[in-house]
Amino acid sequence: MLARLVRPLGLLTLTGLTAACASGSSGKGTFRPSGSLARPAASDAAQAAPHTLPTEQVDAQVLQSYAAYQKAYKKAYETNDPSPLSEVATDPLLTTLTEDIERTRAKGVIWRFVNISNPRVYARSDDGYTVYVVDCMRTLAAYRFSAKTGKRLGGGPGGTYQYRTAVTYESGAWKVSNTKRDKPC
């Protein structure tokens, strides 16, 4: 069960964030009051295992990967091309989405939708290689179009649901491995 594998972050995260914001460190990726910004090298972030990084840095990487997944997900359904998903998702979710997009393409339709996302990290596995994100996702509208003519075939206003998503560190990158729609939020 998912609940047994995770531990809540609560006060520990708040303490870590407060300490990180209050420290005078000029490490990579931190704001420097002198007016310059430093960005970590892409290779540093890609090669560092999660257990070697501070929690807030891992959380930032996870949320960035989650946002990249949402963008690729939207594009995959708009184009009926699941190939971009392999960069941001892994099995079992990758196979599920690929099969669904192929079924959608076989029907001759595409989907276009507008989502408003507000994700946050809420837990992590004991080994730190899976981080769990909760997101109250609001779909403003979702429409189905003919892939041949572009004519709108159906759809309408969406809803607001909470999604629980597992983001797993695999082959040097954070990828979405599973997501479940939960209760309305």
Res. 122: pLDDT tops 90? yes
- Where does the pLDDT of residue 46 fall: very low under 50, low under 70, confident under 90, or very high at 90 and above? low
| Region label for 32, one of left (φ > 0), alpha (ψ between -120 and 50) or beta (otherwise) | beta
User: Across all residues in the chain, what is the average pLDDT?
Assistant: 81
Residue 156 contacts residue 142 (beta carbons within 8 Å): yes
pLDDT digits (tens, 9 = 90+) for 66-80: 999 999 999 999 999
At 119, list the tokens: 């994700």
Helix, strand, coil percentages for the chain (3-state, nearest 5) = 40, 35, 25
pLDDT digits (tens, 9 = 90+) for 54-107: 999 999 999 999 999 999 999 999 999 999 999 999 999 999 999 999 999 999
What type of residue sits at position 119?
A: P
More confident residue, 75 or 33: 75
Say which range, 2-16, 78-92, 131-145, 160-174, has the weakest mean pLDDT.
2-16
CA 61 to chain centre: 10
Q: How many helices (H) and strands (E) does the chain have?
A: 5, 7
At 100, list the tokens: 């669904």
Distances (CA, A) of 15 to 7, 21, 144: 16, 10, 46
Res. 182: pLDDT tops 50? yes
Q: How far apart are CA 15 and CA 13, in angstroms?
A: 5
Percent of the chain with pLDDT over 90: 65
Q: How far apart are CA 166 and CA 145, in angstroms?
A: 30
**pLDDT given at position 156:** 79
Q: Where are the domains of the chain?
A: 48-184
Query: What's the CATH class of domain 48-184?
Result: alpha beta
